[in-house]
Amino acid sequence: MLEPATNYDEARANFRWRIPGRYNIGVDACDRHAAARPDALALIYEEENGTTRRFSFGDIRAQSNRLANVLTAQGLQRGDRVGVLLQQSPETAIAHIASFKAGLISIPLFVLFGDEALEYRLGNAGARALVTDTDNLPKILAIRERLPELTTILVVGGGPAPCLDFARTLERASPEFTPVDTAADDPALIIFTSGTTGAPKGALHAHRVLLGHLPGVEFPHEFFPQPGDLFWTPADWAWIGGLLDVLLPAWHHGVPVLAHRFRKFEPPAAFELMARHNVRNVFFPPTALKLIRQVGAPERHNARLRSIGSGGESLGEELLDWGRAVFGVTINEFYGQTECNLVVGNCASILPVRAGSMGRPIPGHEVAVIDEAGQVCPPDRAGQIAVRRPDPVMFLEYWRNPQATAEKFIGDWMLTGDLGRRDENGYLHYVGRADDVITSAGYRIGPAEIEDCLLRHPAVAMAAAIGVPDPVRTESIKAFIVLRTGQAASPALAAALQQHVKTRLAAHEYPREVEFVESLPLTATGKIMRRELRAREAAKRTTGS
């Protein structure tokens, strides 16, 4: 959708949404390519043992048709929900494409979820079918009796009756299937948010969500696609960052995707993987970048990337400079959330990247910083980041939660729950989650800037900042530090880090407390869970320990 341009204003002025009335993700991302180029490469799957398999769009079409036939034969009807509990694999992609083509609603589920997390999501969504594998089946069997609506379980690798063996069941099904005629606004998938408080909420998205993602992928990946592009991400396809930032947009454009999920992310192995398959485009969560930086990139790596996108946490100047030195390209940061993704970003070739900024609104999206009354804030005044509806990437509603849906909006503005500011040049700057902001001595302080400053210190691998109760200042700042390999915690180092922040930011922004820790609590998508750090701190102060 995004036309090549020489500057940001031109890209924005030339952009037009093209959303047809009738639209199906499965047909768009798979079947139309299979009809025109059935042998075109869609997926490269490298297993843990190094075995590599390749799948054409024709292969994906046939297998997803077989699965669609199986699901409908099991009695699933349009609008029924299908859970997909698998890591990056051909079966994951096939399950989603089949669900879309059958008019069903897929539910991406992360393989590291425990029993309670899976029970809540499958139960809340009322899933009638699930596609999983032998590794994850025990968790499902443990909760099966508490999921009365779950009637069909297909298992990659097989499982006990009444589970269905995925491969054997598909072999007996027809490779021909007529996709359901869906509207662009018909529901297609439910992605549960990690949330900041309360139970996870299921963001219900329409088929149009894929089209809504396109400019947000094309912009930070330097006018994707280009000849020779091949996409990979270490992010799991159970999250919007893997499924809708990488797999499905690439397939919309007929670009092949590499599937390989490390049980534990190892930077040297990641470089070898990218070089081995000539990966050109990568979505790296910030945590992955920080891990690479901590370990160090191989001195003579053969990865030849054309574009790198990252989002989820502010990168900061140090990581940007490091990225240019290691990869030879500028990492383009982008911003969005499960409910309304990829709405702000950078495209270094036409938009100068400003350290500490998330970029500018992606063409096609109207994003502003607003006050509590829903009025747009003037430049450099902090407020809540909001996106104006209608917008094709925006969610339909929270599943079975009309109150939470209503609370998400002020008029036509969808509230992100993130605080930010817009500078006089139109760049948006992330301040922090509304509940992460630290109020100290009358100042409202976002943790991201403090953390970025700490990361510039050579001893620091990862950092998190929170507010803790202070009888004089309301809150003071406490920093939690993970040190780089070979560094030792000491009072002298803590004092040096305090001075590092005090001299680089401001006296009121330095951490009055520093705690060295082995690791930080992270969400499954690699975001720092500051609320958990606050909860731990509150418990310690209550008990006096």
So where are the chain's domains? 54-182, 436-543
Residue 197 has a pLDDT of 47
Distance separating alpha carbons of residues 521 and 535, to the nearest angstrom: 12
Rounded mean pLDDT, 272-276:
97
Q: Please report where in the chains the tokens 């992330």 appear, as a residue.
A: 430
Rounded mean pLDDT, 467-476:
86
Q: Is 140 left (phi over 0), alpha (psi -120 to 50) or beta?
A: alpha
Opening angle at CA 42, ends 38 and 48, nearest 5: 135
CB burial of 30-65 (b: ≥16 within 10 Å; e: otherwise) equals: bbbbbeeeeeebbbbbbeeeeeeeebbbbbbbbbbb
Radius of gyration of the chain (CA): 23
pLDDT in tens, 293-307: 888 888 889 999 999
The pLDDT of residue 507 is above 90 = no
pLDDT at position 12? 97
Question: DSSP secondary structure string, 466-535?
Answer: EEEEETTTEEEEEEEEEEPTT----HHHHHHHHHHHHHHS-GGGS-SEEEE-S---B-TTS-B-HHHHHH
How much is the pLDDT for 196? 43
Find out whether the peptide bond into 220 is cis, omega within 30 degrees of 0. no
- Alpha helices in 57-147, H assignment, sequence order: 57-73, 90-101, 115-125, 137-143
Across the range 315-339, mean pLDDT stands at 92
What is 436-543's CATH number, 3.40.50.1950, 2.30.30.190, 3.30.300.30, 3.40.1190.10?
3.30.300.30
User: Residue range 224-245: average pLDDT?
Assistant: 96
54-182 with 436-543: one CATH topology? no
> In the numeric block, which tokens belong to residue 135?
């590794």
What's the pTM?
0.88
Q: What does pLDDT average to over the chain?
A: 94
Fold of 54-182: Rossmann fold (3.40.50)
The per-residue DSSP string of 421-465 comes to EE-TTS-EEEEEETTT-EEETTEEE-HHHHHHHHHTSTTEEEEEE
Model confidence at 544, pLDDT cuts 50, 70, 90, reads: low
Least confident of 108-112, 475-479, 500-504: 500-504
Which of 37-41, 197-201, 527-531 is modeled with the greatest confidence?
37-41
Q: How many CB atoms neighbour CB 262 within 10 A?
A: 15
Q: Calculate mean pLDDT across residues 73-93.
A: 98
Yes or no: say if 269 and 298 are a contact pair by the CB < 8 Å rule: no
Taking Cα atoms as reference points, which of 280, 272, 281, 341 lies closest to residue 311? 341
Burial class of residue 527 in the structure, from the number of CB atoms within 10 Å of its CB (0-12 exposed, 13-18 middle, 19+ buried): middle
Q: pLDDT-based confidence at 11, cuts 50/70/90?
A: very high
Consecutive H or E run containing 322: helix 316-327
Whether the per-residue pLDDT at 371 is higher than 90: the answer is yes
Here the tokens at position 445 are 């302080």
Residue 505 — very low, low, confident or very high, per pLDDT cuts 50/70/90? confident
Mean pLDDT of 55-72: 98
Q: What is the dihedral of CA 389, 390, 393, 396, to 10 degrees?
A: 90
Q: Which two tokens stand for residue 371?
A: 């006050």
Instruction: Report the alpha-carbon distance of residue 207 to residue 41 in Å, rounded.
Output: 24
User: What is the pairing mode between strands 332-337 and 105-109?
Assistant: unpaired
HEC string of 33-62 equals HHHHCCCCEEEEEECCCCCEEEEEHHHHHH
Strands of 265-362 (E only): list them.
281-283, 307-311, 332-337, 340-345, 360-361
Asked if residue 275 has pLDDT above 50, the reply is yes
CB 406 within 8 A of CB 381: no
**DSSP-H helix ranges across 153-203:** 166-171
Quick one: which of 343, 293, 328, 340 has its CA closest to 452?
293
Q: Please give the span between the terminal C-alpha atoms of the chain, in angstroms, as a whole number.
A: 57
Longest CA span, the chain:
72
Question: Residues 342, 411: contact at Cβ < 8 Å?
Answer: no
What's phi and psi for 109, nearest 5 deg? -130, 135
353-370 average pLDDT score: 95
Average pLDDT for residues 506-526, to the nearest whole number? 89
